Structure 1
Amino acid sequence: MLNYTKYKRFETIKLNDRIWPDKEINKAPIWCSVDLRDGNQALINPMTVDEKIEFFKLLIKLGFKEIEVGFPSASQIEYDFLRRLVDENHIPDDVTVQVLTQARPHLIKKTFEALKDIKKAIVHIYNSTSVLQRDVVFNMSKEEIKKIAVEGTKLVKEYAGSFEGEILLEYSPESFTGTELEYAIEICDAVLDIWEANKENKVIINLPSTVQMDTPNVYADQVEWMCRNFKDRERVIVSVHPHNDRGTGVSDAELAMLAGADRVEGTLFGNGERTGNVDILTIAYNMFSHGINPELNIENVNEIIEVYERCVKIPVHVRHPYAGNLVFTAFSGSHQDAINKGIKKYKERHNNIWQVPYLPIDPSDLGREYEALVRINSQSGKGGIAFVMDHCYGFKIPKTMRKEFADVIQKISEGKGEVSPTEVKAAFDKEYLNLEIPFKLVKCRVSDISDNGCEEDTKVNVSIIHDGQEREIEGIGNGPIDAFKSALSRSSLINVKIIDYTEHALSTGSEAQAAAYVYMERNDTMKKTFGVGVDSNITRASIKSMISALNRLYHQ
């Protein structure tokens, strides 16, 4: 039995008058990618400098204006990477790079050496403030921990004073979620005072959920309490940096934004220590799905995945929100049918607002293909199979025919698992379009014999092969189908009745094809089935559909 009494909750504030639940997210935050530092340090095989350059260029292309590029004072490869960004002019004027450093004199000195010739940078200092870290890691008092933050700020301010470019300060009380809020605000306000922060000279105060310790609403309460209790909220850019230990990193970030956060630090696809950082792309796509501009260029998720997987060497999970290979698929028959009907209605209404069951976002907006929307297996229904045939191949299978063809596909899927659209079409051809036994059409001629308003005004002359013998038959009726049926009946080859018939164009243009569907019944056995014919001539298509149905009815 699990020894749950071994664990206890960290006691935080009770914010009974919280206002964040009544807020709505209506604009994008300031995004800061930490892929190249926080994400990179979590890799089994960290990125090379060349891979970092490629990843940095991807982040620029995606529209990130703040990018944490590393810890240049702690690693030579990160120092060299930053210098290459500078020396090779990879940093656009509108992008601010961010560097991390501990609040130690020699590390801060080397950090500023790495920043030489940069026009604008964020220097991010941090020290852990939580009860647990103070006790078991540092064995320091609150005053001693506070002094680290204050002295570090003084050093950064001193170096910034002689730096040719612009320096922004970011301070993180690391392990914020395990820190007493009154103590966290005391340290943060001390840092702000030393920096002489004001409305025109703001400091980024980052409130990291370094390790998730509670539900997202508790984190939101902590962020709102901090926003309320800064001595001067206007001199602060409130940033959050959620991790994902409890699996709620995205929720932490979204609720923190409701609680007053201006900025979000995270990574593409949530890469990071342990269970990862917050997934910036998921938050951005969530906003997009609510009609909010995420202010990132994320319309081609496949390209993002390709660069990410090559540089990071971690595959994107098939069920990853928005990006996974299977997130826009539907195996359930009822889901497939609803998607099929929803997309049809969306196109018919000519409405700009996307409303399709089971698809919160239009896959094409992310550069995804519709062909992957419906996947066919033994759990699939007739609606999904009809969707594949319509969307991939243009066949609008009649509703009454869908069960018949679905039974064919189900037998295939029960034996092999998933059936691809190509395999669905191959089965359709085999079952309906390529049948030549016992009947095969050789040629046909249709003529109009209208005279004095006679109802039977169409004559067909058809050459068919039946059981290996070619035969010429002729019939008259009130249309090509009726006339062909009459010809077959007069020759004593069949005894059937036609229950239903439909047709439609498969394509447009000079090589347009037509599809015809006929539903027939044998009078002797009461067996019923559909036949399908395709031809550039609709009359020939209708006759081919009858041949198809007859072969299904009479083939032993």
Structure 2
Amino acid sequence: MFNHQKYEKQYFLPPTLSYDWVKKETIEKAPTWCSVDLRDGNQALPIPMNLEEKLEMFQLLVDIGFKEIEVAFPAASDTEFNLVRTLIDNNMIPDDVTIMVITQAREHIIRKTFEAVQGAPNAIIHLYNSTSEAQRRQVFKKTKDEIKQIAVDGAVLVKELAEETEGNFYFQYSPESFPGTEVDYALDICNSVLDIWKPTPEHQAIINIPTTVENAMPHIFASQIEYIHKNLSYRDGVRLSIHPHNDRGCGVSDAEFGVLAGAERVEGTLFGIGERTGNVDLITLAMNMYSQGYDPKLNFSNLGAIRKQYEGLTRTAVYERQPYSGDLVFTAFSGSHQDAISKGMKYRKENQVEKWDVPYIPVDPMDLGRNYQTDVIRINSQSGKGGIGYILETNYGIKLPYKMNEEMGYATKRVSDQTNRELSSEEIYHVFKEQYLDYCPHFQLVDYRFEKGEQQEVTLKLKQAEQNIELQGEGTGSLDAVSNALKTSFKLDYELEVYEQHSLGKDSLAESCAQIGISHNGQMYWGAGIDEDIMKASVQALVVAVNRLVAFK
């Protein structure tokens, strides 16, 4: 049964509401990013990573620029424990990177955790217990005071063992299942834990607020975070962190609103890989900052390679429409979009624009290791003349007249429609070549010779019906002479309306492309020619255009 009446809101508003966070325009300073790919991300995989894969993932995260990385739940398995020991024993943790390990607020698990991190140069001990009303009632069958005591006892033991264990340790506490917890109660637990740890500005603790199961709109979460931000004890000694999940599809909004509301740290994963609908996607968050001109302090300049490595390690495919990183996120198939992008790119080049503002593309694909030729405009039956013209120009240097470009667009779309698939740039060029360079079903150009008299004279040698024929003509110029020879010999009536030509390269030996449009009874017929000799290219273009007139009139 699809019955909405069985549901009701499961979140709690803070005792007092304030919306100071709404007054902030954007995030200008990057929060501390903490990757939880090796824990939250890994535990969501059908086939978890082995030790070697985890070590490779750790190095990938370091290379991207993460300074805090949750590496394991050491008490959960030998693989988790061994990863921590391998990193420490082999001095694999850079001086500016802090690892984090997670532990439930249970004595034997906390003790096992400290065995794993002994000798760590810098490590965060992440303590948590579940605090929600539903879990208190259904799972633990404990009162509020009893649940709070679990957190306090865990905090006491963490502090004692940190003093007894070799290494440099910081503390983090999370009221797990926070979205279903009374906000003032969650705050009380956090402050009780902080009373045990007594953090200082010189040795801060972390209070981490997770949206374990996202159950409210992002503005509700922001209001909850703002309340905690304003009422935390030892505030100058505490970094307020958030850990958004994506059950409602609002993980990114939760994170961005949460930072505006006072959070200084965000936990998440690359590509949002995590349990159920996943964790917040740190790539999206960082690139959202980047796209507005702020340094996210993470480097995704080769995002394609990062994605390929990540997919190999996790055996998980990144969705083709995943923001910034998917295969198709910079790709336009729509004709109107392609036209705007093509004109925007041309405007940018001609005017040497420094700031990026190309229509439909929020960031420069080149910044992420992508390229314009294969990623920006791709052609199928939905595409338009602007996109097809862009492909020919960027890949082959061919600039078509407006009306010829329109006709070429229809010809290309017909092929895509008939084959029911996307066309590559090579296939698009093949359509152009077949329709406008090589289209000579009635006669083909073999040779030509000009002589100068009172007017320009020409002798054309053509091949028709497997026989060579010669035509003579004269005109005010070379192309006019060729045109008159064709008109007279084949009894044709047309006007030469469009003649354009341009070089396909920058050096003196580059080939030239000529395009010619002739009109007959209001209909245009087009031809093109490419050759090192511009006159030969022009004559060939006219021959093709006349062939099309003969074929289609």
- TM-score by shorter chain over 0.5: yes
Q: After superposition, give the CA deviation of every residue in 1:101-143 in whole Å (9 maximum; x if it has no partner).
A: 1122222222122112221101100001111111111111111
1:210-229 alignment to 2 at 5 Å?
A: 210-229=212-231
What is the match of residue 22 of structure 1? 23
Q: CA deviation at 1:368?
A: 1.0
* Equivalent residues in 2 for 1:327-342, closer than 5 Å: 327-342=329-344
| One-letter amino acid of the structure 2 residue matched with residue 18 of structure 1 | Y
What number of residue pairs does the alignment pair up?
Answer: 548
Once the two structures are superposed, residues 300-339 of structure 1 have per-residue CA deviations (whole angstroms, 9 ceiling, x without a partner) of: 1111111111111110111111111111111211111111
Q: 1:153 to 1:526 in 2, by over 3 A?
A: closer
1:127-181 Cα distance to aligned partner (Å, 9 max, x none): 0111111111111111111111111111111111133321010100111121112
CA contact 1:36–1:68 (8 Å) conserved in 2: yes
Match among 385, 388, 393 for residue 388 of structure 2: 385
Q: State the secondary structure of the residue aligned to 1:185.
A: helix
**Closer/same/farther in 2, CA of residues 348 and 14 from structure 1, 3 Å limit:** farther
Following superposition, which runs of at least 4 residues in structure 1 exceed 4 angstroms of deviation?
446-449
Q: Larger deviation: 252-261 or 48-57?
A: 48-57
Which of 527, 543, 554 is the aligned partner of 2:539? 543
The CA deviation string for residues 372-400 of structure 1, in whole angstroms up to 9 with x for no partner, is 21222222121121111112221111111
CA distance in 1 between partners of 2:408 and 2:329 (Å): 26
CA 1:448–1:27: 2 relative to 1, 3 Å? farther
Residues 257 and 486 of structure 1: is their aligned pair in 2 closer, same or farther, counting only changes over 3 Å?
Answer: same
Alignment of 1:162-201 (within 5 A): 162-201=164-203
Partner Cα separation in structure 1 for residue 457 and residue 88 of structure 2 = 83
Q: Name the counterpart of 1:516.
A: 514
Aligned mates of 1:349, 1:22 — CA distance in 2: 36
Change beyond 3 A, Cα 1:502–1:105: same
What stretches of structure 2 of length at least 5 have no aligned partner? none
Q: 1:537 to 1:353 in 2, by over 3 A?
A: same
1:151-550 equivalences in 2 (<5 Å): 151-370=153-372, 371-417=374-420, 418-446=422-450, 456=455, 458-492=456-490, 494-522=492-520, 527-550=523-546
1:93 aligned residue? 95
Which of these residues, 127, 130, 136, is aligned with residue 128 of structure 1? 130
The 8 Å contact of residues 17 and 223 in structure 2, kept in 1 or not, is answered as: no
Instruction: Compute the displacement of 1:16 (Å).
Output: 4.3
Q: Is contact 1:15-1:221 (8 Å) kept?
A: no
Aligned to 2:139: 137
In structure 1, what residue type is equivalent to 2:208? N
Q: Distance in 2 between matches of 1:482 and 1:516?
A: 15
| TM-score using structure 1 length | 0.95
C-alpha distance in 2, partners of 1:447/1:216?
80
Superposition pairs for residues 75-114 of structure 1, below 5 Å? 75-114=77-116
Which whole-Å CA distance do the structure 2 matches of 1:239 and 1:467 have between them?
81
Distance 1:357 1:271 in 2: 30
- Give the CA deviation at 1:543: 0.7
Deviation larger for 410-419 or 287-296: 410-419
Moved more, 162-171 or 459-468: 459-468
Letter in 2 for 1:437: P
- For 2:59, the equivalent position in structure 1 comes to 57
Deviation string, structure 1 residues 169-221 (Cα, Å, up to 9, x no partner)? 01001111211121111111111111111221211000000010100000000
Q: 1:264, CA displacement in angstroms?
A: 0.4
Distance 1:447 1:285, change over 3 A: farther
Does structure 1 conserve the Cα–Cα contact (< 8 Å) formed by 2:12 and 2:183?
no
Q: Which moved more, 1:487-496 or 1:334-343?
A: 487-496
Counterpart CA distance in 2 for 1:33 and 1:132 is 29
Aligned match of 1:11: 12
Counterpart contact for 1:250–1:283, Cα < 8 Å: yes
Distance 2:86 2:213 in 1: 33
* Closer, same or farther: CA 228–547 of 1 in aligned 2, 3 Å: same
Equivalent AA in structure 1 for residue 440 of structure 2: E
In the superposition, relative to structure 1, how do residues 306 and 447 fare at CA in structure 2: closer, same or farther (>3 Å)? farther
Deviation of the 1:247 alpha carbon: 0.6
Give me the whole-angstrom Cα distance separating, in 2, the residues matched to 1:126 and 1:183: 15
> SS state of the match for residue 462, structure 2?
strand
Match of 1:238, SS state, is strand
Matched residues in 2 for 1:261 and 1:512: separation? 59
SS of aligned partner of 1:225: helix
- Partners of 2:182 and 2:145 lie apart in 1 by 14
| Alignment partners' CA distance in 1, 2:223 and 2:522 | 71
Q: In 2, Cα distance between the equivalents of 1:381 and 1:489?
A: 34
Name the aligned partner's letter for residue 382 of structure 1: K
Aligned partners of 1:372 and 1:65: how far apart in 2? 32
User: What SS does the corresponding residue of 1:555 show, helix, strand or coil?
Assistant: helix
8 Å CA contact 1:119–1:164 kept in 2: the answer is no
Deviation at 1:87, TM superposition (A): 2.6
Note the alpha carbon deviations across 1:86-108, whole angstroms, 9 max, x for none: 23332111111100011222222
What whole-Å deviation, never above 9, does each CA across 1:453-498 have from its counterpart, x for those lacking one? Answer: x7x4x44343222332223334333332112112333445644321
Contact 1:168 1:203 in 2 (8 A): yes
**Structure 1: which 5+ runs fail to align?**
none
Residue 409 of structure 1 aligns with an amino acid whose one-letter code is T
